[in-house]
Amino acid sequence: MAELKINDPKQCFNLRFKEELIREVEDRNKFRAEVGLRSVSVPKEVEKIHKAELWQDFCDWCETYPMRAEVAEEVLQTIRKELGNPAWVPRGVLSGGGLGYGHRVQERMR
């Protein structure tokens, strides 16, 4: 099994889960070798998976955060002032501004 160096104890998350991730990445590397692909760095891949899970946890928290509606309303009012349109609402993903609006709400939640 590949060895991961943990310099900062705060970075260490559930060790058993980390060991499972290491085994999973090593299994993927074996498969990659069988089909002629180069292997990936185990520590980097584990870190990438961990960051993705932290991001998902954050997104889940944002959806359940009681003040989210207030933050969303503040962002909405800011965009309305910027556009000079007091009736603007996010519609659609790209041209309707919905994606940018959602991103600004998440940024504000951070």
Give yes or no: residues 58 and 74 share one domain: no
Contact 109, 68 (CB under 8 A): yes
Q: Which amino acid is at 50?
A: H
| Interatomic CA distance for residues 107 and 89, integer angstroms | 19
Whether 4 is in a domain gets the answer: no
Does 4 have pLDDT greater than 60? no
**What is the domain extent for residue 97?**
68-109
Q: How far apart are CA 24 and CA 27, in angstroms?
A: 5
Output the pTM of the full model.
Answer: 0.48
- Pairwise CA distance, residues 101 & 68, whole Å: 13
* Strands, E assignment, the chain: none
| Residue-level pLDDT at 34 | 94
Please give the pLDDT value at position 33: 94
Same domain, 49 and 79: no
Same domain, 36 and 74: no
- In angstroms, the CA 108 to CA 102 distance is 10
Domain identity same for 14 and 49: yes
Query: 29-42: buried (b, 16+ CB within 10 Å) or exposed (e) per residue?
Result: beeeeeeeeeeeeb
The total domain count for the chain is 2
Could you tell me if 60 and 87 lie in one domain?
Answer: no
User: 73 and 51 share a domain?
Assistant: no
In this predicted model, which residue has the larger pLDDT, 76 or 11? 76
Same domain, 17 and 45: yes
2 falls in which pLDDT band (50, 70, 90)?
very low
* Domain presence at residue 3: no
Give 6-63 pLDDT, tens digit per residue.
Answer: 444 444 456 667 788 888 899 999 999 999 999 999 889 888 888 888 888 877 877 7
